[in-house]
Structure 1
Amino acid sequence: MTAQAPPRAPQRPPARKSRLKRLTRRDVVVLSLMVGIPTLVQILLVWGPTLLSIGLSFTRWNGLDLADLRPAGTDNYRYVAQDYPPFWPAVGHNVLWLLFLGVIGTPLGLLLAVLLDQKIRGSKIYQSIFFIPVMLSMALIGVIWQLFYNKDNGLLNFLLGTAGTPQAVDWFGDSSVNIWAAMVAATWRHAGYVMILYLAGLKGVDPTLREAAALDGASATQTFFRVVFPAMKPVNIIIVVITIIESLRAFDVVWVINKGRNGLELLSALVIQNLVGEGQVIGVGSALAVILLVISLVPIVWYLIRTFRKAGP
């Protein structure tokens, strides 16, 4: 009998070469520039002024001579909360702005998105028409709506038949109605922005969800509110945060109208009124800016916490 050869040990597969390549000097330079330049811009134009405003909010200063810079502790914040007449009306107007965008502007954008998602004829044209205000600056929107609201020659008074008569309404000059007129102008832009976001969200909903709901006998309305809308939860959270921030950063429209006075007081307008122009009070303006910053950070931090918690292990 011939002796059998011993079995061969299983060969190990050749070790894979590491796909990680060592960065060349050129790669390091390019990455440094791509990261460093935006970071430097952020520090110089965002975080630097932010920290400077926080520091100035605890001082008294005329904004001209550094020799007049004096510490003030929390006096500026106490003055804003207790003795500055426009502050609380401005807070109320910002809250009203938020409610108006949340109750009218955002649902209007959702309605437009749902209608345009039905693949109606010319939907791309309608999307472009409704999205045009989003591409315009809020200052330009204020100018456009001034033509619409003009007391003597405005389109609205013309349609009401009161143009050029004593019964004509001064939509931007009357302090009892100008805040509503300004919010309508802001909603014109906000609705188009929300429409685009919701259109993207509707395109991302799994079609099988709608088919399953239809097989269960659900109507189109029931399918939307019980299946489609909950499936767009990430988009809904983003739009809530955007709506809150839009209500807080509202500035351009009211500044174009009357510089945020006579019924159009907003926190952002008060900041500029105290930081720029005659009678500037740097400490008070900085305190108002810090208050606005803290309020704005609340929805942003809430959104980031939810995002990172979901992305975590």
Structure 2
Amino acid sequence: MSGGTIGRGTETPARRRGHLRQLTKRDVVTLAVMAGIPTLIQLCLVWLPTLFSIGLSFVRWNGLAFGDMKPAGLDNFRFIFTDYTPFWPAVTHNILWLLFLGVIGTPLGLLLAVLLDSRIRGSRIYQSIFFTPVMLSLALIGIIWQLFYSRDNGLLNFLLGTSGTPSAIDWLGDSNVNIWAAMVAATWRHAGYVMILYLAGLKGVDPTLREAAAIDGANGPQTFFRVVFPAMKPTNIIIVVITIIESLRAFDIVYVINKGTNGLELLSALVIQNLVGEGQVIGVGSALAVVLLVISLVPIVFYLVRTFRSQENE
């Protein structure tokens, strides 16, 4: 009797370990709410507007009465590629924005990460200082940098000794200069973001790699560029994708300065100019949004393909 009881007692935990508990109605409702609400929000705020914009890119509509909506085929796309004057300057500015972030902003963030990873005194304080702009919106950053760039009372002209004089540089009003001023302001934020990502990547590098490089006689720069930097390949891919997306979504700064006109034309600003305000052309604005969407999908698809391939190889 006791032996049978002991036998049953020893089998029960094993059975419990291999048993999957059936979901109750409460579990099903909880999972449905937790998965359904975010999905519904994503559907309403992202996917439905995206599909709606794609549909509107093939019509002529003033945005007032649905009865005025007329099919346009590919006319909106032909217009923006051939006859819409600001389009190609905006493409040029977006490419310039990408190159500036890639050549100046991203290496600057990497440099900050390397310096802070060397365990200098007060590194946590420096991290907080450099990361602060990331927590601010680009619109607020644009307002802050207007204090630096103001022609009459700006800090930059004051340091140059030209504040309040006819020789003062109009950093935001001069179409030959304002794009560079806006990119510097954007880099201030971008460098802090890249710094945090690279700091996380540096913490994940196996210390034995550096030790092996030191044993082989490699100095600091050789160890970093030949051993550490290649070991951060996943982080490098993420940062390349983020840099491309940041250059495409740049909007807030130029819109705060002059609504994306007079030398600050960007694709994202052109979309808003055609969708909002007087003289709105819904079809053209939607076509511009579709073009921007297609361009944005390229780095995203590239990143996803690389990620899935690396998982399959593992």
What range describes the TM-score normalised by the shorter chain of this pair? Answer: over 0.9
What is the CA-CA distance between 1:309 and the residue it aligns to?
A: 1.3
What is the CA-CA distance between 1:260 and the residue it aligns to?
A: 0.1
Corresponding position of 1:166: 166
**Distance of 1:21 and 1:235 partners within structure 2:** 39
Q: Does 1:210 align with 2:206?
A: no
Aligned AA (1:106): T
Aligned AA (2:273): Q
Q: Any residues of structure 2 matched to 1:65-214 within 5 Å, and which?
A: 65-214=65-214
Q: Does 1:295 align with 2:298?
A: no
**Distance of 1:302 and 1:221 partners within structure 2:** 30
What is the CA-CA distance between 1:16 and the residue it aligns to?
A: 3.8
Corresponding position of 1:234: 234
User: Secondary structure at 1:309's aligned position in 2?
Assistant: helix
User: Secondary structure at 1:300's aligned position in 2?
Assistant: helix
Aligned AA (1:149): Y
**Distance of 1:118 and 1:306 partners within structure 2:** 31
**Distance of 2:239 and 2:73 partners within structure 1:** 38
**Distance of 1:240 and 1:26 partners within structure 2:** 44
**Distance of 2:84 and 2:19 partners within structure 1:** 64
Aligned AA (1:258): N
Q: Deviations over 1:76-98 (max 9, x none)?
A: 00000000000000000000000
User: Secondary structure at 1:31's aligned position in 2?
Assistant: helix
Aligned AA (1:274): N
Q: Deviations over 1:40-93 (max 9, x none)?
A: 001111000000000000000010011100000000000000000000000000
What count of residue pairs does the alignment treat as equivalent? Answer: 302
**Distance of 1:59 and 1:268 partners within structure 2:** 20
What is the CA-CA distance between 1:105 and the residue it aligns to?
A: 0.1
Aligned AA (1:89): P
Corresponding position of 1:5: none
Percent identical residues = 80
What is the CA-CA distance between 1:312 and the residue it aligns to?
A: 2.1
User: Secondary structure at 2:22's aligned position in 1?
Assistant: coil
Aligned AA (2:293): L
**Distance of 2:30 and 2:41 partners within structure 1:** 17
Mean Cα deviation higher: 19-28 or 283-292: 19-28
**Distance of 1:218 and 1:100 partners within structure 2:** 32
Q: Deviations over 1:17-61 (max 9, x none)?
A: 424211111111111001000000011110000000000000000
**Distance of 1:39 and 1:207 partners within structure 2:** 41
Q: Deviations over 1:258-293 (max 9, x none)?
A: 000000000000000000000000000000000000
Following TM superposition, the consecutive aligned residue runs of length 4 or more in structure 1 with deviations greater than 3 angstroms are 13-17
**Distance of 2:203 and 2:300 partners within structure 1:** 26
Aligned AA (1:118): S
Corresponding position of 2:5: none
Q: Return the structure number with greater helix share.
A: 2
**Distance of 1:34 and 1:294 partners within structure 2:** 31
Aligned AA (2:299): P
Tell me the TM-score normalized by structure 2.
0.95
Tell me the TM-score normalized by structure 1.
0.95
Aligned AA (1:135): M
Q: Which runs of 5+ in 2 are unaligned?
A: 1-9
**Distance of 1:64 and 1:242 partners within structure 2:** 37
User: Secondary structure at 1:225's aligned position in 2?
Assistant: helix
**Distance of 1:16 and 1:192 partners within structure 2:** 53
Q: Which runs of 5+ in 1 are unaligned?
A: 1-12
* Superposition CA RMSD, Å: 1.2
Q: Does 1:254 align with 2:254?
A: yes
Corresponding position of 2:3: none
User: Secondary structure at 2:193's aligned position in 1?
Assistant: helix
User: Secondary structure at 1:312's aligned position in 2?
Assistant: helix
Corresponding position of 1:27: 27
**Distance of 2:112 and 2:143 partners within structure 1:** 25
**Distance of 2:165 and 2:246 partners within structure 1:** 36
